[in-house]
Amino acid sequence: MAEGKEAKEVLTLEQAQELVKYDLSTKMVPFLDRHLIIYMFNFLQEMEIYKTEDINRALLKLLAETNMIDLAVEMYATLGEEAPESLNQRREEVLQQLQDSREKVLSLLEILEDEDKVQKIATFKSMSELCTAFELEVDVIEGLVHYAKLQFDCGNYTLSGELLKHYRSMMAQDSERPMTTRQFSCIWGSLASFILNREFEAPSPGVEMAADVIFKIDEFLDNTKMAKKEVLLQKTWLLHWALFAIFNADKPDAKLLDFFLNEKSLSVISLSCPHLFRYVGACLILQKRLKHLVKDTVWIVHHEAACYSDPVTRFLLALYVDVDFDEAQQELQKCAQVCKVDFFLNRHWAEFEENARLLIFETYCRIHQCINIRMIASKLNMEAEEAEVWIVKLIQNAKLDARIDSEKSRVVMSKAPASVYQQVIEKTKNLSFRSTMLLSNLEKREKELKEAKA
């Protein structure tokens, strides 16, 4: 083995079976493009929780529905089989299709390679004006979509994404016309290209990225005249695709997180894909800026617990609904297995564990003034010495009003006075209560006087 590399963990049959319980890939696949599924299956192949041959066979079946012929040939070699002759014939057919499609749109491709002409496209007020200026037929512009689709099926996601971006830019000239099914499909194609190219964060302001395309699709679905059943299906697909931009980006777009956790999205998740509550819970744990959403969102998760439950959702319910710290700690240990086998959460376990421990500590502090360090260490699944160092850093970084009493091995929380804002709210509540009681007493007194006169 190469020096410096860690030995790969070899899973026992029991360990693999335990991990399989937490794999959601079978629930996710119906809502993903086959190229995204290949992306996910490659991860499962590395995890080795399924038989290698089974995964390879599944990958081969997916590749058969694409134009990635060379990759399919390599997969046959991996299985120790000879690729069928039909694949060679298919390769020739695909190459011919690419050539014919490129020749059809060659005049347009030459225009798109000229930066000055590309900038000029944005100045036209209609498609007819654009076609007249560049002496193009409408069929040539539509042919660009076919060429982009061929490139995408061949695995050339970067080129496909660029071609679709130009096509959508040209179609935008007829902004008053309603969006066609073809144009809507192109937006989905752009999103797939962004995801597969891992283009989640804009290199400069104004450059379109995956999150921007997600918002455009969502806006279209909110205003479309499609049947409600079709809109629900499309939104379900969109929420699944959004996971790539949320969990694979180094810093997910704040607006994208708000979109994923808004009331409409949670309603879609409840109706058609409750398994996504795992990622709702993961967002609440991983993103500290979402603390204001935790209470209401956890209540929804609690309401839907009969439809879907796993260690991530049960951790939140144990902590915020049952306030059971022992149960929360046990579920957190299971979350390690969930993150290990989950395509989206795999690389986030360290941060997930750290933030989950912080949530346990914060919740514990709300109901205890003096906290035994050994006790909290057991809740956090840490050694007492390790927990003390962790708590000291936490107090310093979060500027908590607390101190460590080393002699008694405890944390003493100071009861901070309520903020002026909170005091105003409380006093307003009391004032409202007293006003209600006063009005009630006056009405009662008036009624007694009337009865006495009668």
SS3 382: coil
CA 373 from chain centre, in angstroms, equals: 36
Report the alpha-carbon distance of residue 140 to residue 114 in Å, rounded. Answer: 17
Domain limits at 25?
10-83
Kindly state the tokens that stand for 166: 């130009």
Residue 262, domain member (yes or no): no
Which residues are registered as beta bridge partners of 264?
none
Residue 63, domain member (yes or no): yes
Residue 349, domain member (yes or no): no
Residue 48, domain member (yes or no): yes
Q: Residues with Cβ < 8 Å from 3, sequence gap 6 or more?
A: none
Residue 70, domain member (yes or no): yes
Per residue in 85-123, pLDDT (tens digit) is: 888 899 999 999 999 999 999 999 998 888 888 888 878
Residue 163's pLDDT is 93
pTM, two decimal places: 0.82
Each residue of 336-370: b (16+ CB within 10 Å) or e?
A: ebbbbbbbbbeebbeebbebbbbbbbebbeeeeee
Report the alpha-carbon distance of residue 397 to residue 262 in Å, rounded. Answer: 30
What's at 78, amino acid-wise? Answer: T
Report the alpha-carbon distance of residue 330 to residue 315 in Å, rounded. Answer: 8
Q: Decide: residue 397, CB within 10 A, 0-12 exposed, 13-18 middle, 19+ buried.
A: exposed
Number of domains in the chain: 1
Nearest to 235 by CA among 287, 270, 199: 270
SS3 114: coil
Asked if residue 201 has pLDDT above 80, the reply is: no
Residue 428, domain member (yes or no): no
Of residues 440 and 99, which shows the higher confidence score?
Answer: 99
| Residue 303 falls in which region: left (phi positive, over 0), alpha (psi -120 to 50) or beta | alpha
What is the dihedral angle through the alpha carbons of 380, 381, 383, 385, rounded to the nearest 10 degrees?
A: -10
Yes or no: say if 191 and 217 are a contact pair by the CB < 8 Å rule.
yes
Per residue in 294-333, pLDDT (tens digit) is: 989 999 999 999 999 999 999 999 999 998 888 999 999 9
Residue 237, domain member (yes or no): no
Per residue in 144-198, pLDDT (tens digit) is: 999 999 999 999 999 999 999 989 888 876 665 667 777 889 999 999 999 999 8
